[in-house]
Structure 1
Amino acid sequence: MFEGVERYTYIDTRIGPLLLAGDGDSLHLLSFQSGSRVHHPRDGWRHDPQAFPEVRRQLDQYFTGRRKSFALPLVLSGTPFQNAVWTTLQTIPFGATTTYQKLAQRIGRPAAIRAVGAANGANPLPIIIPCHRVIGTNGSLTGFGGGIETKRFLLAHEGVGKETADLFQT
């Protein structure tokens, strides 16, 4: 995973520092620096403090409430199943949520709820590919690589409260 990554940088955001990594043209990885799914630079990656200016700009717009979706060149290097989940995650609108069950139905694999959850958890580009918009069937904020508090913050930032969760219809 993360083949083709040549450079990386860290940016400061309202939810703490984020690691950005990719090649000269596309983003391959966005990683929280707290929570259960922290990634660190690998051998051979070159630190470039000026890298990914468009990613920085769009994330800044998102965190200041001026952007609801991202238009960035991304590289998804998962399995075909993971890539299908990650592509479908990008269709969940800002301010809406869906469940793992509905996501499994949406990709045509209604019995693959746990596999959808695993793919969601392996998302290499959280926020940009909005895995935080997936919640439990009962409305609970299930696991999140950046931590539940970060997930809660992102959903609140998008105007989703637990009692007002707008389930995205499939």
Structure 2
Amino acid sequence: MSDTRREPDLDRLHSRLESAALAADLLDVAYTIVDSPLGKLLLAATRRGLVRVAFAVENHDDVLQSLSEKISPRVLRSPRQLDVAAREVEEYFGRRRRVFDVPLDLSLSRGFRQLVQLRLPDIGYGRTCSYKEMAELVGSPKAVRAVGTACATNPLPIVVPCHRVLRTDGSPGGYVGGIDAKTTLLTLEAAA
């Protein structure tokens, strides 16, 4: 069988499996892979909302394995379940969206990390703040390093904008997608 015939057959099979898993309520984590100016992004969601955005440098297979361990082993590629999230990501990169409206599932973070991640959207599109300012914003002015850790472990980069947090001297600091990705996001937002 040629590759061109095999691909539609696989697509139909996957679609049937996806439909059957949804009908039987056997899908706890849906995911898809989308193209972006930063490369392939993995988007994953639970029934509560978008739970993970991952860059290719994070190794999507490792991310899926982690989701199966932390949330549920019932993980399936299900692009239809992520249509809204994928559309919003595309609109963001197309400069047609400044705020994400997709529901979020923040269950991969807890405690102080989750507190910081909840406040990250308060940094408006095209703006930045320092790790120190973020620590003050969450009421823990001495927790600058902990803010850095919360940003570094943000399971929803881009959507929960940890890229807007910089070092006090204005340099980018680290970023899960790499410094080039952080710089690209900041440049995208500054150009709007």
TM > 0.5 = yes
How far apart in 2 are the matches of 1:91 and 1:82? 15
The CA distance in 2 between the partners of 1:151 and 1:116, in whole Å, is 17
Counterpart of 1:97 (choices 123, 128, 131) is: 128
1:147 to 170, 178, 183: 178
Structure 1 residues 39 and 110: CA distance shift in structure 2, 3 A: farther
Structure 2 unmatched runs, 5+: 1-26
Cα distance in 2 for partners of 1:38, 1:158 equals 30
Q: How many pairs were matched up?
A: 157
**DSSP-derived class of the 1:142 partner:** coil
Q: In the alignment, is residue 19 of structure 1 matched against residue 42 of structure 2?
A: yes
Pairwise CA RMSD of aligned residues? Answer: 2.0
What's the secondary structure of 1:51's corresponding residue? helix
- Residue among 29, 53, 65 paired with 1:6: 29
2:83 partner amino acid: P
* Structure with the higher fraction of residues in helix conformation: 2
Contact 2:43 2:86 in 1 (8 A): no
- Quickly say closer, same or farther: Cα 1:5–1:22, change in 2 above 3 A: farther
CA shift, 1:5, in A, is: 4.6
2:84 to 29, 54, 58: 54
Q: State the match for 1:65 in structure 2.
A: 95
In 2, Cα distance between equivalents of 1:86 and 1:32? 18
**Larger of the two Rg values belongs to structure:** 2
Task: Name the counterpart of 2:14.
Answer: none
Q: Which residue in the other structure is 2:55 paired with?
A: 32
Match in the other structure for 1:132: 163
Letter in 2 for 1:99: S
Maintained 8 Å contact 2:46/2:105: no
Paired residue secondary structure (1:9): strand
Question: What does the per-residue CA deviation read over 1:40-60, in whole Å, with 9 as the maximum and x for residues that have no partner?
Answer: 312521112333111011111
Of stretches 34-43 and 136-145 in structure 1, the one that deviates more from structure 2 is 34-43
Measured in 2, the distance between the counterparts of 1:106 and 1:24 equals: 30
Contact 1:32 1:39 survives alignment (8 Å): no
What is the DSSP-based 3-state SS (H/G/I as helix, E as strand, rest coil) of the residue aligned with 1:28?
strand
Residue 157, structure 1, aligned to residue 170, structure 2: no
Residues 124-162 of structure 1: CA deviation (Å, up to 9, x unaligned): 0000000000000000010000000000000000017xx
- After TM superposition, the runs of 4+ consecutive aligned structure 1 residues lying more than 2 A away are 35-40
